[in-house]
Amino acid sequence: MAMLYQAVYRRASFLWCRLHSTYVRKMRYLFELKEDDGLCRQAQNSGTFYLFHNLFPFLQKVGSKHLAPQISASELKRILKKFKQNKQKLEDSVLIGCSDECMAYFALDLGSLEKMDIESELKGSFTELWKAFFQLDGKDASLLSLAQALLRWHDTHKYCSKTGQPTQKNLAGSKRVCHTNGIIYYPQMSPVVITLVSDGSRCLLARQASFPQGMYSALAGFCDVGETLEETVRREVAEEVGLEVKSMWYSASQHWPFPNSSLMIACHATVWPQQNEIRVNKLELEAATWFSLEEVVEALRREPRPLKQEDGRFSLWLPPKWAIAHQLIQEWVKQQSNMPA
Ligand SMILES: NC(=O)C1=CN([C@@H]2O[C@H](COP(=O)(O)OP(=O)(O)OC[C@H]3O[C@@H](n4cnc5c(N)ncnc54)[C@H](O)[C@@H]3O)[C@@H](O)[C@H]2O)C=CC1
Ligand SMILES: [Mg+2]
Q: Which residues surround ligand 2, an ion (CB under 5 A)?
A: 220-221
Ligand 1 centre to CA of 233 (Å) is 13
Q: What is the maximum alpha-carbon separation in the chain?
A: 78
- Residue having the nearest C-alpha atom to atom 26 of ligand 1: 222
Which residues fall within 8 angstroms of residue 116, CB to CB, at 6 or more apart?
none
Q: What is the CA radius of gyration of the chain?
A: 23
Rounded-to-integer distance, Cα 171 and Cα 36, Å: 8
What is the CB < 6 Å shell around ligand 1? 190, 192, 194, 217, 220-222, 256, 258-259, 262, 264, 284, 319, 323-325
Cα 58 to ligand 2 centre (Å): 30
Residue type, 181: N
Q: Whose CA is nearest to atom 17 of ligand 1?
A: 221
Q: Which domains does the chain have, with CATH numbers?
A: 22-157 (no CATH), 190-338 (3.90.79.10)
Can you give the three-state secondary structure of 252-314, one letter per residue?
A: EEEEECCCCCEEEEEEEEEECHHHCCCCCCCCCCCEEEEEEHHHHHHHHHCCCCCCECCCCCE
According to DSSP, the β-strands at 104-109 and 48-53 are parallel
pLDDT of residue 2: 56
Using the mean position of ligand 1's atoms as its centre, give its distance from the Cα of residue 48 in Å. Answer: 32
For position 340, what pLDDT does the model report?
64
Q: How long, in residues, is the chain?
A: 341
Mutate to test the pocket of ligand 1, among 222, 258, 263 (most ligand atoms within 8 A of CB): 222
pLDDT at residue 202 in the model: 96
Report, as ranges of residue numbers, the positions in the chain whose pLDDT lies below 70: 1-19, 340-341
Residue 55 CB burial class (10 angstroms; 0-12, 13-18, ≥19): middle
Residue 291 has what pLDDT? 98
For atom 23 of ligand 1, which residue has the closest CA? 222
Q: How far is the CA of 192 from the centre of ligand 1 (A)?
A: 7
pLDDT of residue 10: 60
**pLDDT for residue 332:** 98
Give the pLDDT of residue 9: 57
| pLDDT, tens digit, 9 for 90 and up, residues 2-35 | 566 556 656 665 566 566 799 999 999 999 999 9
pLDDT value at position 8? 62
CA of 213 to the centre of ligand 1 (A): 19
